[in-house]
Structure 1
Amino acid sequence: MQFLNHAVLVMRPSIIIKLLLVILVALVLFFAIGTILTSPAPTSVSALSADFPVEPVQIPGRDHVVVHGWLAQGKPGGGVVLLAHSMRSNRVEMLSRARFLQDKGYGVLLIDLQGHGETIGDKITFGLKEAENIEASVDFLKQRFPRERIGAIGTSLGAAAIVLAKKNLKLDAVILESLHPTLEEAVENRLKLHFGDYGSVLLPLMLWQLSLNLDIAIAELNPIARIDRLNAPVLFISGTHDAHTTQSETERLYASARIPKELWIVPGAKHFNMHTYAGREYEHRVDDFLSHYLKRYEEDD
């Protein structure tokens, strides 16, 4: 018995050291998450097929950031639509939308937000700096198409960037897909998806990391605080089964927005490409909304 007790005592320091090392590694990894979440996602954007000719554009922005994108002409009087992708993606995500919109007569500009695709950026900032890319792109379209009405479609990060723009964009129509009302809810929803109900326990530390990494108060990144400043007709689109941005969260954004406004909750849809999921119904609703506010055909006649 004395021998066993002695063996346990010998093993205890080793076990404690190993346990401390595991805890230390876990803490280091957890504290690194903030850096990982804000790290850029550059990609080389492949060439488009010949059946969708585009003009590559480079739009000068703030802090020497040049926004890379594709521009496709529409019919005169048909309006022009800016397309902004989701987080850790690039302009290719919006390609199917661009094709159907051009078929309907709209011009389209697909851009890579900063830190994505071919647009440089040190960090992903959850809409803060990406909003400057939106501002530069809207200015570009207004200079390039002075007689056209201009709209925008943003999904997730792209939607947040549109809403968080500090400059009055003076858009004629906006479509916001899968947009979170607050960054806190967006982060908590994702933590719960990975860690269950225990994810909420990690939320304060995660938000602190992000705030420290971005050098900004988290409250500055809440679209719901600025949605009433979006002085444009707006269509909100979200899914009934979206666990990243819930239906009730979208309904809160809708309630806070100015009129005119519309809400489309897509049955069965989760947090993914709404055009891919809803297909013809998506095209019908989006075209119906945009054509009402953007097209000038009748005026030209």
Structure 2
Amino acid sequence: MNKRLLTLTLPLAAVSAGAVYMSNKLFNVAFKRVNYVPETSADKQKYADEYYAYVDWYRQIPHDTWYLNENDPDKKLVASYIPNPADQGKTVIISHGYKGNRETMANYAKMFYELGFNILLPDDRAHGDSAGKYINFGWLDRLDYIHWIEQIIGKNGEDEKILLFGVSMGGATVEMLSGEKLPSQVKAIIADCGYASIREELVYLLHNQYHLPEYPIEPLISTITKQRLGYYLNDVSSTEQLKKNRRPILFIHGGKDTYVPVKMAYENYASTKAPKQLWIVRNASHAESFWYNPANYKHRVSEFLGTYFK
């Protein structure tokens, strides 16, 4: 190798090695399991007292623990089931957000409980009490939810009506679940601030939070994801799944969301041909729509259910 070629090759090799190092680091930050719930963003800390009051309600109300793959410690999934004494023949499955768990959805659980629903609160893979090394951003979780649906029907009977509900990553999870072949008992879906695709979300965060370029970081992370989770980032798309959706769906999104930009709500809304509604909560940030005005949130959800969940 001549001296000129060596002079060019060494910096390129260093840049390449740096990109690989950075991509691995970002993959671990984004995808690797953490065994705690991170502190909420500063704009939502003002709701702490209300949040913990809901958590106290969840901890005190009678509930059962359900499992998938109970005897396999590497695949075991855990959920809480709260039966409603009103017994109106309807159950909501609530999908939690990124690095959350079933307890963090206590406010939504109480709202739906007051609306007469039984409640199923799963911990997704690599969250809470469920097994798993890596967060999969709802793509593999969506298949687990099919089995949770089957458990509900097995327990409550063929006449049970099921609502799918999720927030943030959970919103994207139920959006992606909407494109699967679902039992007829699933009647409607509510998705709060779900992303359009994990690739689009990652690229957005690379630019806005880390000030990094899309290339070569995104393709390298996508390759790592394929190796460790079995899919490329391009495979994970709410919009593509929503094209196959036939259930009525309500999209909710904060107008000041800087984590999952509001344009993704419009992308998701445009993707489905099913009966649909879109509610932009103008002054709410990411996952703040409920907290911004709980009574109004419950009212809008009730209106949607009154139209499409009969």
Instruction: Tell me the TM-score range normalised by the shorter chain.
Output: 0.7 to 0.9
Q: How many residues align?
A: 275
**Displacement of 1:241 after TM fit?**
1.4
Equivalent position of 1:256 in the other structure: 271
Point out 4+ residue stretches in structure 1 off by more than 6 angstroms: 20-26
Distance 1:203-1:278 versus aligned 2 partners, 3 A rule: farther
Q: 2:199 aligns with which of 169, 175, 184?
A: 184
2:225·2:232 contact (CA, 8 Å) conserved in 1? no
| Matching residue of 1:136 | 147
2:30 to 37, 56, 60: 37
- Shift of residue 140 of structure 1? 1.2
User: Within the alignment, does 1:153 sit opposite 2:180 as a pair?
Assistant: no
Matches within 5 A, 1:41-190: 41-43=34-36, 48-49=56-57, 52-61=60-69, 64=72, 65-74=75-84, 75-77=86-88, 79-146=90-157, 147-165=159-177, 167-170=180-183, 171-190=186-205
Q: How far is the alpha carbon of 1:22 from its aligned partner?
A: 12
RMSD: 3.0
Distance 1:97 1:55 in 2: 15
Check 1:152–1:257 CA distance in 2 against 1; reply closer, same or farther (3 A cut).
Answer: same
SS of 1:272's equivalent in the other structure is: coil
Q: Bigger shift: 238-247 or 206-215?
A: 206-215
Q: Which amino acid aligns with 1:110?
A: L
Partner residue, 1:229: 244
Give me the whole-angstrom Cα distance separating, in 2, the residues matched to 1:99 and 1:231: 28
Q: Contact 2:58–2:106 (CA<8 Å) still a contact in 1?
A: no
* Structure 1 unaligned blocks of 5 or more: 1-19, 296-301
Amino acid at match of 1:107: N
* 8 Å contact kept, 1:151–1:172: yes
Q: Please give the TM-score of this superposition, normalised by the length of structure 2.
A: 0.78
Question: Higher Cα Rg: structure 1 or 2?
Answer: 1
Describe how 1:288-299 pairs up with structure 2 within 5 A.
288-295=303-310
Residue type at the aligned position of 1:260: P
3-state SS of the aligned residue for 1:77? coil
Q: Structure 2, unaligned stretches of length 5 or more?
A: 1-12, 38-51
Bigger Cα displacement from structure 2, 105-114 vs 244-253: 244-253
Contact 2:245–2:274 (8 Å) recurs in 1: no
